[in-house]
Structure 1
Amino acid sequence: MKPRDIPNLITGLRILLVAPFLWLLLKEHYGAALVLFVVAGISDALDGFLAKYYGWTSELGGILDPIADKLLLLGAILALGWLHELPGWLVMLVLVRDALIVGGAIGYHFLIARFQAAPLMISKLNTLLQLTLVLVIVANHGIMPLPTWLLETLIGLTTLTTVWSGVAYVWRWGHDAWRQHHHPSDRPPPSS
């Protein structure tokens, strides 16, 4: 193993944390689940720092890192929905948005042009709010009760940014597809 493989190793370990985290969450062991969630967050920051600071980036890391993040976050949202800690409609909204983005990315890649993953700022904000919402709900049960208004505000902001980011991706890819169709000279060369 080379030093440049360390970020991918950390990401792999984060993926392995998902199953025990979800198990603890579903068993309502919120304190232990919170510890694993924080460890996963620290590992995400650490592998990102190492990859950027030392230039230890790789194509594999570019694929594994968002998969690890999505497994943890989506798993947590599904588990909290199952436990009735999150409203079912919000869980469905998050699932529909993610399915729309994945389906749109695949469709764009195969029908329009090679897809380059470049998250929009609203999508980054949405991910941050989803993470914060999960953290607050788990902390609410695992450490100390938090004010109801905080949970309600986070649910509202998460809902808003989930819809906004979904619409923003549809708009962006739809606009790019329209431009590619009406101005084929703008089309990037096919990848070899």
Structure 2
Amino acid sequence: MTIANFISFFRLMLSVGVIWGLRAQHFGWVSVMLGVSAVSDFLDGYLARRLGQVTQLGVLLDPLADKILVMAGLIYFAVYREISVWFVLSVFFRDISGLMGVLALGFFKKKAIVSSLMVGKISSGFNLGLIFFLCVNRLYPSLQGVISFFYGGAVIFVVASFCIYSVRWFRLFEGKE
């Protein structure tokens, strides 16, 4: 196992800790785990590229860890009506449509390297930031402006990333990319 894959696996395990922490309402610990997760998300990709250790496992593990972490946080805060269910469903739909695109490419034996785009990384950053500040707001309730900023950015970039990735999937499927 490469160091980058180990870090991605560690982040996947952090998602379990975040789910437990949210359920137990330990928002301080959850905030710390989200911060560590954000750093590890940057670090695993950087190390994989820098050390020439990009692997198929890492390509799957990295986004899986991100999606589990983000969906767990979004679902938690939707249950407590701090964010809307439609937003959580839109993130879920975007992620599922991406998975279906990968599966369709594989099913029709289209050869393509499916890497993440900057718009997807920005979207993940806004989602993670939103969850982080919702947790911190539970400890220090005065962050409505910051939360509104991250919520607005998350909505914009979920829509933008869905549109951009959809165009990309069609181009890949047609063999134009």
For the criterion TM > 0.5, the same-fold answer is yes
Deviation string, structure 1 residues 9-67 (Cα, Å, up to 9, x no partner): 22222212211211111222111111122222233333333323333332322222222
The one of 38, 48, 67 aligned to 1:70? 67
User: In the alignment, what sits opposite 1:82?
Assistant: 79
Structure 1 pair 122–47 and aligned structure 2 pair: CA distance change class (3 A): closer
- Provide closer, same or farther for how the CA distance between residues 45 and 176 of structure 1 changes in structure 2, counting only shifts above 3 A: closer
CA distance in 2: counterparts of 1:50 and 1:43, whole angstroms: 10
Q: How does 1:1-192 map to 2 (within 5 A)?
A: 5-111=2-108, 113-142=110-139, 144-177=140-173, 179-180=174-175
Q: CA deviation at 1:176?
A: 4.1
Unaligned runs of 5+ in 1: 181-185, 188-192
Unmatched runs of 5 consecutive residues or more in structure 2:
none
Moved segments of 4+, more than 3 Å: none
Distance 1:55 1:81, change over 3 A: same
**Structure 2 SS opposite 1:84:** coil
- When the two chains are superposed, the root-mean-square deviation of aligned CA atoms in Å is 2.3
CA contact (8 A) 1:133 1:154 kept: yes
State percent identity of aligned pairs.
28
